[in-house]
Amino acid sequence: MPIHENVGRLIQLAKRRRMIFLALTAVCIATWSLSSRAKPNDEVPYPVGYRLWTHVRTVLIGPQSPAFESFGGLHHIYANEKAMEGYRAGRFPDGSVLVFELLETRENAGVTAEGPRKRVGVMVKESKRYAETGGWGFESFQGDSQTERRLNAAGRTACFKCHEPQKNRDFVFSEYRK
């Protein structure tokens, strides 16, 4: 076999390898982008900086309340700017975030003070993403953690079921205390 034929075959082989490599790369990129598109991030993000948002109202739920087991303690509601529009207009725009911050209480000599944070409940308004639950996404973060999520799918459905009777107030219970 003449040398130049051998060289020609080697070049062809290298070309084929390059084609296979490029094709595999393309498949990888396509799979990755499709998977990230098919699995939209439905997770409600931690409401970073909510303590500097507007304080809406406060309630203390004591042992005599039937809600004590689930919600016992002192809770504050905080709203970001868009959610404040919602309180004023009755309809919460996309991007509204409401925080239900639940604290333990410490009683001493007739004074009930705030104790450690029990959890941070969050409602995020995104009409399309959360179309099945009134446009609101629900989540609850444990204690001071920004990553430890407390709700599974059933838990989130339970949130919505309880908020559902408030439909004419866009599923929100609280009212802004002036």
Partner 1 sequence: MTIEKKTCLFVSFVMLISSLYLWAKPEDVIAYPAGFRDWNHVRSALIGPASPAYQEYGGLHHIYANKKAMEGYRNGKFPDGSVLIFDLSEAKEHHGTTIEGRRKFIDMMVKDGKRFADTGGWGYERYAGDSQTERVLTAQAKTACYNCHATKKDNDYVFSKLRE
Contacting partner 1 (CB under 8 A), which of 68, 70, 127, 158?
Answer: 68
* Residue 63: CB minimum distance to partner 1, A: 6
Instruction: Name the one range near partner 1 by CB under 8 A: 8-16, 27-35, 106-114, 127-135.
Output: 106-114
* Cα 5–chain centre separation: 64
**Separation CA 77–CA 176 (nearest Å):** 9
Residue 75 host element (H or E):
strand 73-79
Contacting partner 1 (CB under 8 A), which of 15, 17, 18, 55?
Answer: 55
Residues 6+ apart with CB under 8 A from 99: 47, 50, 53, 77, 78, 79, 120, 121, 122
76 near partner 1, judged by CB under 8 A = yes
Residues 6+ apart with CB under 8 A from 41: none
Instruction: Name the one range near partner 1 by CB under 8 A: 16-24, 31-39, 108-116, 132-140.
Output: 108-116
Lay out the site mask for partner 1 across 109-128 (x = CB under 8 A, - = otherwise): xxxxxx--------------
**Separation CA 167–CA 164 (nearest Å):** 5
The contact set with partner 1 (CB under 8 A) reads 51-52, 54-55, 57-68, 74, 76, 78, 84, 109-114, 177-178
